[in-house]
Structures are given as C-alpha cells and as structure tokens.
Amino acid sequence: MKINNGFTLVEVAIVLIIIGLFMGTVLKGTELITNAKIKNIENNFSSIARAVTLYRENYHRLPGDDENADRFKSGIAEGDGNGIIGGNFNSTDNDDESRLLWLHLRSANLVERVPADLRQQPQNAFGGLMGISSDSSGNGAKGSDMALFVGFTKIPGNIAVILESHSDDVEVGEGRIRSNQDNYNGANGTGDVEHQLYFSL
C-alpha cells in the first residue's frame, strides 16, 4: 500500500489563512506608522507656528531677526531687526537668521533645547530638517513668494499628497502648502521622489 505524504485541502486552507492574517497585520502596522508620521509633521508645524507667535507676542520681534536677543544672554547672536527672517530654512550658515531663529526660540524656552548646537534645525519624522525663512522662492518653492513659512525636507511624494489633501488644494504652487517639485503626478506622487514642503505661517 502506497502512503501519500501530501497536504490535505484543510491544511492548505489553514496555512493560507495564517499567511493572510500575518500579511494583514504587517500592512496595518505599516499604515499606522505612516499615519503617525503624517500626524507628527502636522503637529510639528502647529508647534513651530505657536512658538513663533508666542515669541512675537512676548518680544515684539521675529525670532532670528530679533536685534535685542541679548536679553537672554549677553553676547548672544542677534538679527538685524528688518522684519524678515533671512537665509534658507535648511541653511548650515550659523550667521543666517534662519539658524539664529532656533537659538532665539530655545533661549526663550519656547522649543526643546536638545541639540548641542542651539542653532541646529530639528529633524522631522522622515529624517529631514524643519526650518523657517521669509524667502520661499529663493528656497525652491513653486508659485508666488510666501512672507513667512515653515519648510520640511525629505518628504516622500505620496506623503506630500496626503499632507496637501488634509490642509490645502493639492497644487504644488498654490495655497498655503507648496512644494519644490513641478507637480504631484507620476513618480512625483510616490515614495520614490522626495519633496521639500513649505507651510505658510
């Protein structure tokens, strides 16, 4: 008598159900992580906007542009007081007001003082930088210039589309959220292409 060592239909069905449950759990977990990162970007913008507003209300100057920042500590670097925050939002030049802004906000205890360099821009949930400037066109944003904005680097295209759809018009060069890419079509709307996003303050 020949013994058949194959799987029964019931055994195959059980294995497929287990694989399906496992895949569903993995996909759901990935979706939860992505949603948490999106919420983190939105919360970052709100927190930064609140910090800038509080600084303005308390000191009647923009952080980074404040020519009287030595109120926090004698000899602290000051801005020129012209009402704009100069420099690229992701600048590495310590003399740019966009870097001084973080020094001023941290000195006023309006944002966390974690970095050793108090001028360093904080990181966002996607590993890019967050920063502030008054020159959106010079920073690569499409469309007309924004007077003041919070910029985010390394945002995947599919996430940029979601952020736009939550708060704006899904147009790269219009509304309160802009991008440095030409559009959100094709590869630009996928995780393969990184965007710099600019949120108007």
For residue 180 the two structure tokens come to 């440095």
pLDDT at 44 over 80: yes
150, 146, 147, 130: which is closest to 52 by C-alpha? Answer: 150
For residue 106 the two structure tokens come to 């941290």
Q: Are 159 and 107 in contact (CB under 8 A)?
A: no
d(CA 139, CA 134): 9
d(CA 97, CA 100): 5
**What is the DSSP code (8-state) at residue 117?**
S
pLDDT digits (tens, 9 = 90+) for 145-177: 899 999 999 999 999 999 999 989 899 999 999
pLDDT at 2 over 70: no
Instruction: Determine what percent of the chain is predicted with pLDDT higher than 70.
Output: 96
What pLDDT score was predicted for residue 13?
80
Helix (H) or strand (E) holding 37: helix 9-59
pLDDT at 3 over 80: no
pLDDT digits (tens, 9 = 90+) for 52-83: 999 999 999 999 999 999 999 999 999 999 99
Q: What is the pTM of this model?
A: 0.84
What does the pLDDT average to over 116-137? 93
Q: Give the strands of the sheet with 194-200, arranged side by side.
A: 130-133, 149-156, 194-200, 177-179
Q: If pLDDT is split at 50, 70 and 90, which confidence band does 103 have?
A: very high
pLDDT at 27 over 80: no
What pLDDT score was predicted for residue 182?
94
